[in-house]
Amino acid sequence: MASKPYNVGIIGYGAAAKVFHLPLIEEVPELTFYAIVQRHPTPENDVSKVYPDIKIYRAAEDMVKDQAVDVVVVTTTPATHFDLAKLALKSGKHVLVEKPFVPTSDEADELIALAKKHQRYLTVYQNRRWDQDFLTIRDLIKTNTLGRIVDFESHFDRYKPTTVGAKPWKTRVEPGGGAIYDLGAHLIDQIYVLFGLPQKITAFLGSQRADNPGNYDDACTVLMHYKDGMIATVKVAVVSPEASQLRFWVRGENGSYKKFHEDCQEAHLTAGKKPGSPGFGIEPQEHHGTLTTLHNNTLTPTPHPTIQPTESTTYKAIYSQFALAIAGKGDVPVKTDEARAVIRLIELAKQSSDEGRTLDV
């Protein structure tokens, strides 16, 4: 543990901060929730009522001047990520940025250079690397259980045919907006972690909703072509009327793995559970995937348990690893060149969709 905990200042007090960041920061002894920027508190959403002892600022420019702040966490909308991360780095702070990293790879390059210049650590909150079903797939691939992978599908499909109840920024056309930046960034990142950069990319971005006056891209399909012939498919849908949504379908020469239902950590955090509490991150058996393999020349499906979470394999690991990196005891949880690669793939996917053609990566 560090001689003293690193003081964390958060920019933004929306759902991302409340669900995905604060509960994790509070569980890492090397970190202290010290300050926050909440520009416009309301009677129903006032951070001072929940955290009366922390420092509260109304502007990021003021918080980064606080010499006691060691780490800045950017949880605001994607269009603001670049300017706020740049501000924090130039003020000498270590920075963690919510995904998507930034809207463009040029902005990513500038932040990476700035972090290096100021000798600060920079990372991105790609928490889906610690989904238990994703870690289960990593293990199946590592052990060669499925053999050579020929087809990989990753889905975030939902049934939300209208924008009723949606956050306004999630239905606006703006930098870093659209389904491919919102949920697609998670899926592309997972595929990149498993297989690296593809050779080619083909994408289709558009809207599935009938009522979409802003022409917001609420869905996407991205095909990532690899040199060995494998195709990895990213699919985000908002009109998917299924009782159980497909999450993964992985097919190899020796077997396949099919999984419905999303990782349960988000649901647990939303319900107030924290890492380390009884049952956190543990899927019910009925949500486990199906592994199909050859037995006596017969394809046989069997339930395949999702990997059980440990101290180092839940979303908490992002902050634990970041604290260790700042202390000089390891790498950041998500390297900036990896986060930059994901943004570049998103840019190419957008270009592919706009131009109606497959692009080299």
Instruction: Give the model confidence (pLDDT) of 232-256 as tens digits.
Output: 999 999 999 999 999 999 999 999 9
Q: Give the pLDDT band (50/70/90) at residue 344.
A: very high
pLDDT at 354: 97
Residue 283 has pLDDT above 60, yes or no: yes
Tokens of 14: 């929306």
Residue carrying structure tokens 């690193």: 6
User: Whole-angstrom Cα distance, residue 190 to residue 234?
Assistant: 10
Instruction: Give the model confidence (pLDDT) of 119-152 as tens digits.
Output: 999 999 999 999 999 999 999 999 999 999 999 9
Tokens of 63: 């918080």
Q: Give the pLDDT band (50/70/90) at residue 168.
A: confident
User: Whole-angstrom Cα distance, residue 171 to residue 78?
Assistant: 13
pLDDT at 244: 97
Percent of the residues in the chain that have a pLDDT greater than 70, as a whole number: 99
pTM for the whole structure: 0.96
Q: Whose CA is closest to 247, among 183, 198, 307?
A: 183
Q: What is the mean pLDDT of the chain?
A: 96
**SS3 per residue for the chain:** CCCCCEEEEEECCCHHHHHHHHHHHCCCCCEEEEEEECCCCECCECHHHHCCCCEEECCHHHHCCCCCCCEEEECCCHHHHHHHHHHHHHCCCEEEEECCCCCCHHHHHHHHHHHHHHCCCEEEECHHHHCHHHHHHHHHHHCCCCCCEEEEEEEEECECCCCCCCCHHHHCCCCCCCHHHHCHHHHHHHHHHHHCCCCEEEEEEECCCCCCCCCCCCEEEEEEECCCCCEEEEEEECECCCCCCEEEEEEECCEEEEEECCCCHHHHHHCCCCCCCCCCCCCCHHHCEEEEEEECCEEEEEEECCCCCCCCCCCHHHHHHHHHHHCCCCCCCCCHHHHHHHHHHHHHHHHHHHHCCCEEC
pLDDT at 255: 97
Tokens of 304: 């395949």
